[in-house]
């Protein structure tokens, strides 16, 4: 009986810890396997894409936004929230961001308008 109670408490606790700490662990692993040069290049690329956005229109703007989103989620997958975390977050937000990175998800709007 005691064993079942311990298991009934331990399994939800482990799942909760995985839910809570999993994204940070995955981001840390991603960051370990990313060189500083590659990371700095992606940050520069993101800033370049943001700056270029004002001078583009039509399909060029859309392609720029797609690339901007791709780089944005690449950075998030390494724990770097480049635009300051302006949106509301909850315990599932880091998982959502990782899934968006893994699947190549693209919103219908620019990253700055998420």
The pLDDT value given to residue 113: 47
Residue 70 clears pLDDT 90, i.e. is over it: yes
Q: How far apart are CA 17 and CA 36, in angstroms?
A: 29
Q: Which residue range is the domain that position 14 belongs to?
A: 2-113
- The DSSP secondary structure of 93-111, one letter per residue, reads HHHHHHHHHHHT---SS-G
Residues 83, 90 contacting (CB under 8 angstroms):
no
Give me the mean pLDDT over the 71-88 stretch. Answer: 84
Angle at CA of residue 91, ends 86 and 94, nearest 5°: 60
Q: Please give the pLDDT value at position 86.
A: 62
- Give the number of domains in the chain: 1
pLDDT tens for residues 3-52?
Answer: 888 888 889 999 898 888 899 999 999 999 999 999 999 999 999 999 99
Residue 91 DSSP symbol: T
């Amino acid at each position: 009986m005691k064993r079942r109670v311990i298991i009934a408490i331990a399994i939800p606790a482990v799942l909760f810890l995985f839910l809570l700490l999993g994204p940070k662990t995955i981001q840390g692993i991603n960051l370990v396997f990313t060189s500083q040069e590659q990371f700095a290049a992606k940050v520069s690329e993101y800033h370049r894409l943001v700056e270029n956005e004002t001078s583009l229109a039509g399909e060029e703007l859309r392609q720029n936004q797609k690339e901007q989103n791709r780089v944005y989620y690449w950075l998030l997958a390494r724990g770097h929230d480049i635009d300051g975390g302006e949106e509301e977050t909850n315990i599932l937000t880091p998982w959502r961001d990782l899934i968006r990175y893994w699947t190549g998800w693209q919103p219908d709007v620019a990253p700055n308008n998420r």
